[in-house]
Each structure stands twice: as C-alpha cells, then as structure tokens.
Chain A
C-alpha cells in the first residue's frame, strides 16, 4: 500500500496522473470512435448487415453534387461570417474601450445577451422573424420601403442572410469580449507616446491597435473557421428541419447527419465525416504554419 502511494506521489509518476483524465477521455471518446469511423467508411452498413465495399463510399462522395453543394454552403457561410465577425467586433471593442466612452459596461452587457441564448431559442426567434407572413418582422421591414413581402426562408440569399444575421447576432458580443481582453493587455504607454507624437485616432488604431491585436485576431479567426465549418444546428433550427428548400441551408455536418441518422447510411456518413476531418485539419494546419498560433475547440 505504502509502496503504491510512494510511486503515485513520486515526481516521475505524478505528471502522468495529472494528464490521465485527458488520456482516458481521448482514448475512449475520441481515438476509438475515430478508428471506428475510419473502418465504417470502407463499409456498407445496414441493420443486421455489414459488408466491405472498399473505396465505394469515397468515390460516391466525389461525384455527389449535393455534397458539393453542402461543402460550398459551409465554406461560403464560413467566409462570410469570418469577414463580418472579425473586423466589426474588433472595431466595436476598440471604440467602446476608449476612456471617453460613457456607459460602456451597460453596452457590453447588452451585446452579450444574445451569446447567452441557446441555438434553439435563437433559431426560433429568427425563424419567426423571417417567417413568410406579411406581418412578420422582416416582411414588415420590406413594407416600410414599399416592397412586397417575400418568402425569406425559401430563397437563396434571403435565407443566407437569416443564417448570417443569426450568427452575427449571437457572436458579435462574444468576439468583442475576446478583443476587449486583447485591448486590455496593450500597454497604455504606447498611446501616451502616440499622443505626444500627435497621432490621430485612426492612426492610433492602425499603428498600435491593429498590430498588437494580431494574436487575438488569429485566435478569433481560428474559432470562427471551426464554427463556420461545423455549422449545423443553426440551419436545422432556422429551417425547422434538415431539408431546406433547394438545400440552401444544407451544410457538411447537415449532410453527414442526413446520411448517418436520417437515411441510416452510416458507412457513407463516416466517409463524409472523415472528409470534413481532413478538411478541418488541413485548414488548421495551414493556419498553424502561417501564424504559429492555435485555436480552441468549442464545447458541445
């Protein structure tokens, strides 16, 4: 007993005890499922039946137009959300953290409220604001400009707008918070020096704020890429199911869900998953190489 205790408490063994919870989780809930996925991607699996089909699932993946559409949708969504959710939150955070800004705390709290709403709630709100009835919010807005009501969620760009706005609404506050943290760690002396040099507000931002916020930007970019690529529940909630008109709301994960859970083609869905895995890894590794920084994984 004593011996066991001594070994466990030794400086050599202790580090392994510390990282053990992660290693266990990794093995059981990550590595093992991952190997299963790899195996399944070479199989055709139906209840009570299982057969090896070689590369058939992957061949199909390459020729499937709907998969191409799903990849396109995911990438487009990712690019748009990154393009909106990085510069604007940065600018907002920068402006709001100025000493002459009044009520900054109250504003920050307000912007953060949407972050706290779950995707089910946010999805409900946006689905109903973008509803097709003439009285619904977005159609009322059109009416203000004398435009006829449209069916937002049945059209390509209007439904994309709904998804993008939902994303911006939910995450602007969060990204602002990341930038506020980044701005706080910029030494004030730099600004004082800039004041002495007579720099303008714009110059201060371009010469001090922007470069010193680069690490934050890289970080936010990473999580935005990840979130954009893995988007699914937002679309699921806004369209009410995974079968959006013309597949306008279909994402890669939605496609995986469709085949894995709705059509019960687990083998094929596994191939989709691995394709996404390779894509996500590649994107991140490119980024890792370019910046030397790494992102965070959102908890599910």
Chain B
C-alpha cells in the first residue's frame, strides 16, 4: 500500500459498530472527557472576568462568582484603559503582531525549505547521502536545550541577537519536517521525475512545478505543527530577544509574571486571547490535518 493511495482514496470509516448501550456509554464517556479537558480553559475564561488581583488572591477555580464580574480587564487588553479608568499603554498587540509575523514567515519558509531538502533526500541517490541523513536523525534525537549556550554565542557572533531572524534561522531547515516530508515523498512514484524531464523540466522545476503542488496534505498537517511550534516557542526567543518591542507573545506574557508592576489583568486576558488565532486556524484546517498525517507520518 503506498501512501499516495491512502491520501487520494478516501477510506470509509472503520466498520466497527457498537450496541446502543455501548453507544450511549461512549457518548457519555467522551462528553465527560470533553468536560475534563475544558475545565482548565473554563477556569481561565472565568478568571478573565474576575481579574488578575483575584487570580492571585484565590487562584483559578470554577466558581462563577458573578458579583465580581467585570469587563474592565478585557477593556484594558483592547484599549489600554485600566480598571481605574486611566490610560496605561501596553505592548500586548505589538507582541501579538510580532508572533503572528514570525509564525507566518517561519511556517512558510520552514515548510518550503524542508520540503526542498526532503525532496533531495528522497528522489536522488548521491554520494554521502546516508551520512548526511544520519545527521538529520542525530539532530532529531538531541534536545536543542543542550546546545542553547553555544548557539547563543553563535547567534551573537552572526549578529542575530535581538533580531527576528535570529529566532527563526536555526530552525528553518526543520529536521522533523524534513523527516516527515521524506516519508511522504517516498510514497510517490519515481516515474514522475522522468516524466517531468521528458516534458523539459530541469531538476528544480520538477520540484516546483510537479512535486510541490501535490504535497498539499502533508504541508497542511506540518503547517499546523510547525506553526504551533513557532507561535508557542519560549526558550530560544527568550534568549535571543532583548527589546520589548520585538518580543513575541509568550515572552511578553512571561514578563508580565513579574511581581514588580501591575500586569496581572493583562496576563490573564492576554493568555486567554493568545489561544484564539491558532484555534481558528486549526478549526479551518482540521480536515486536512488528519489526512495529511495519515499520508505521511507513520508507516509500518
């Protein structure tokens, strides 16, 4: 079974039926699980209406306590007008914009570059291929955290500190994406290359014109993973960035944890709001993701 078939032929759902009693049980079970999963989120959303001070006073909980509710904390997030009605500008949306920009650029570039590399690995035989691919495997197995010290020095030497490219550059050729795409491409018939050459394509236009367009499903599922990574990454950007105007959202939110200042309203509402964009993207892309994964991720 090739992966291409898996992708193109839509499979009917597994033929597994349960008795009515079992169905009700399943429904109840998954509803309960969904509620469990939602609890922390609900606690957070409730917290955004109760404000930062209350969060520190009582922690987060599921008590609605409507008498405490106020939209002022959200108002502060969007207008910069604090609970006391004063203007105290914050940088949340600067950070938000930075994160958005970095996520988009990193996702697009990383997918493209990784697919490019994966194509080279999968479609050609060349001297040193195995050795180089071993490097991919090695990089996959080694936690990046080990190298963050010398990587910092390196980024520094290259003038990449406090710079958006400094965050992205080390991760653009993403090994996990390379590995994933290579798996995916291994399901494509090699005849495509020869057909392309016959049609007068050169080595690169085969990739751009023939291969890239049919990688859609794999791209979409990787886009979610890479995008999620970029949107949420904390440790490396925290080392690289120093000016507040360049912060990404997670770092910015992290600075709000400081006890010296008045940041907790922003922290709780901002945290809640930070989930939104990636959630929207997920909802739209959901269908492609599982398909893409089925096609490329794991095979026996």
Tell me what chain B mostly uses at the interface: helix, strand, loop, or mixed: helix
User: What is the CA–CA distance of A43 and B191 in the complex, to the nearest angstrom?
Assistant: 55
- Which of A40, A121, A191, A280 has the largest count of B CB atoms less than 10 A from its CB? A121
Name A129's closest neighbour in chain B (CB-CB). B60
B300 beta carbon closer than 8 Å to chain A: yes
Inside 8 A of A111's CB, which chain B residues have their CB?
33-34, 37
Contact, CB under 8 Å: B34 / A107: yes
Q: Which of A40, A95, A270, A276 contacts B26 (CB 8 A)?
A: A95
Inside 8 A of B179's CB, which chain A residues have their CB?
294, 296-297
For residue B155, give the distance in angstroms from its CB to the closest CB of chain A. 8
Contact, CB under 8 Å: B135 / A9: no
Q: Which of B15, B62, B119, B139 contacts A297 (CB 8 A)?
A: B139
Contact, CB under 8 Å: B14 / A98: yes
Contact, CB under 8 Å: B143 / A276: yes
B113 beta carbon closer than 8 Å to chain A: yes
Binds B, one of A47-55, A62-70, A78-86, A112-120: A112-120
A105-131 interface bits toward B, Cβ cutoff 8 Å, 1 = contact, 0 = none: 101111111111111111011101111
Contact, CB under 8 Å: B180 / A100: no
B47 beta carbon closer than 8 Å to chain A: yes
Contact, CB under 8 Å: A19 / B117: yes
Inside 8 A of B102's CB, which chain A residues have their CB?
none
Q: Which of A28, A113, A133 contacts B41 (CB 8 A)?
A: A113
Q: Which of B61, B139, B180, B294 contacts A185 (CB 8 A)?
A: B294
User: What is the CA–CA distance of A257 and B149 in the complex, to the nearest angstrom?
Assistant: 9
For residue B124, give the distance in angstroms from its CB to the closest CB of chain A. 4
- Which of A28, A185, A233 has the largest count of B CB atoms less than 10 A from its CB? A185
User: What is the CA–CA distance of A253 and B143 in the complex, to the nearest angstrom?
Assistant: 9
B290 beta carbon closer than 8 Å to chain A: yes
User: What is the CA–CA distance of A280 and B143 in the complex, to the nearest angstrom?
Assistant: 8
CB interface residues, A 112-156, toward B, < 8 Å: 112-122, 124-126, 128-133, 135-137, 139-140
Binds A, one of B70-78, B85-93, B272-280: B272-280
Name B293's closest neighbour in chain A (CB-CB). A181
Q: Which of B132, B142, B268 contacts A22 (CB 8 A)?
A: B132
B157-177 interface bits toward A, Cβ cutoff 8 Å, 1 = contact, 0 = none: 010000000000111111111
Contact, CB under 8 Å: B144 / A300: yes
With A37-B149, A120-B253, A184-B290 as known contacts, state yes or no: A219 contacts B228, CB within 8 Å: no
Name A186's closest neighbour in chain B (CB-CB). B14
For residue A163, give the distance in angstroms from its CB to the closest CB of chain B. 14
A17 beta carbon closer than 8 Å to chain B: yes
CB interface residues, B 260-283, toward A, < 8 Å: 267-268, 271-272, 274-275, 278-279, 282-283
- Which of A18, A21, A126, A269 has the largest count of B CB atoms less than 10 A from its CB? A18
B214 beta carbon closer than 8 Å to chain A: no
User: What is the CA–CA distance of A131 and B179 in the complex, to the nearest angstrom?
Assistant: 41
For residue B292, give the distance in angstroms from its CB to the closest CB of chain A. 8
CB interface residues, A 219-274, toward B, < 8 Å: 219, 226, 229-230, 232-233, 240, 253, 256-257, 260-261, 266, 269-270, 273-274
With A184-B11, A276-B146, A284-B141 as known contacts, state yes or no: A298 contacts B229, CB within 8 Å: yes
Contact, CB under 8 Å: A188 / B176: no
Q: Which residues of A contact B (CB under 8 A)?
A: 9-12, 14-19, 21-26, 28-30, 32-34, 36-37, 40, 92, 95-103, 105, 107-122, 124-126, 128-133, 135-137, 139-140, 169, 172-173, 177-178, 180-188, 191-192, 195, 201, 204, 212, 214-216, 218-219, 226, 229-230, 232-233, 240, 253, 256-257, 260-261, 266, 269-270, 273-274, 276-277, 280-281, 284, 294-300
Q: Identify 20 residue pairs between A and B in the complex whose beta-carbon atoms are under 8 Å apart, listed by A's number.
A: A15-B124, A17-B204, A19-B120, A22-B178, A28-B170, A29-B169, A97-B14, A107-B34, A111-B33, A113-B41, A117-B232, A128-B55, A128-B60, A180-B290, A192-B15, A201-B22, A230-B144, A280-B141, A297-B141, A299-B177
